[in-house]
Amino acid sequence: MKSILFLSLCCILLSACGKKHAISPTILIVAPHPDDETLGTGGQIALLTDKGYTVHIIVLTDGSQLFVSQFGTGTNPSPIEISIMRKRETERTVAHLGGAPQNIRYLDYGDGNLSAKIDDAASIVATRIGDLNPERIYVTSAFEFHPDHRAANTVVKHAYTLLTGNKPELWEYCVGPRPEFGRGNGPDSLVEIDITPVLNRKTEAVNMFACHLELTVEGQTEPIWKDGSQYLADTERFLVTPGALVVE
């Protein structure tokens, strides 16, 4: 009788431990700059974290050249200070959407120079995929205007060639898409996700990007954005490809 009771107690304890430490489903978002994860997939972050998903994010560049490239200024505050400001904004927006800032990893490649770091970045991303075993990978599509956004796509697709285990679905998102986005004849399919249940939350998150919405640097004459409405449609669009069909 004592043996039976002991075994029953062990089973109960093991069951409780299993529930306590159950692994939640995971996604990995790869962002070219601090903010792209929110602008392109903020609705997905909110929807999926509400469903119990864990969101991990890799930000590839330091985002330091935001004002240098657009206004030719960048001394007060300095590019390094701008990078820090943008990272803190990203952490606040991700937390507001339901993610965890500690799950953001910054690789700090030079803003505007990501194409020179494809192999190195791909190796890191591939290792992270292997560690996390996510259900999906999100990255900016190959049909973006910004060269760093296109380079991020190349990084992830090259990372797929380095994977030896499971290859997750690839979800390519848009931030500043060219007209040909979604018009290809490849293995991907265009998917539109209704984010109206969380649109208010995404709107609040986008409005946290003070670097874009306020006069931030000396010599700046107007904000980068009048508002963030261009990123606040009631759907988010993705090119979705099964992992086994992803090619560089």
Dig out the tokens for 154 from the structure: 């190349």
Q: Return all residues near 59 (Cβ < 8 A) that are at least 6 apart.
A: 31, 32, 33, 34, 36, 37, 87, 90, 104, 105, 106, 107
Span 27-77, pLDDT tens digits: 999 999 999 999 999 999 999 999 999 999 999 999 999 988 677 766 789
Token output for 174: 């848009």
Within the chain, residue ranges assigned H as helices are 2-20, 36-50, 66-71, 79-97, 118-132, 147-162, 199-206, 210-213
The number of angstroms, rounded, from the C-alpha of 210 to the middle of its chain's C-alpha atoms is 19
pLDDT the model gives residue 140:
98
- C-alpha span between 82 and 79 (Å, rounded): 5
The predicted pLDDT at position 89 comes to 98
Strand order in the sheet with 104-109: 104-109, 54-61, 26-31, 136-140, 169-173, 235-241, 189-194
Rounded average pLDDT over 82-93: 97
Average pLDDT of the segment spanning 197-216: 96
Residue 206, token pair as written in the block: 């986008």
- Does the pTM exceed 0.75? yes
Name the nearest CA neighbour of 132 among 238, 23, 22, 52.
Answer: 23
Is the domain spanning 22-245 CATH 3.40.50.10320? The answer is: yes
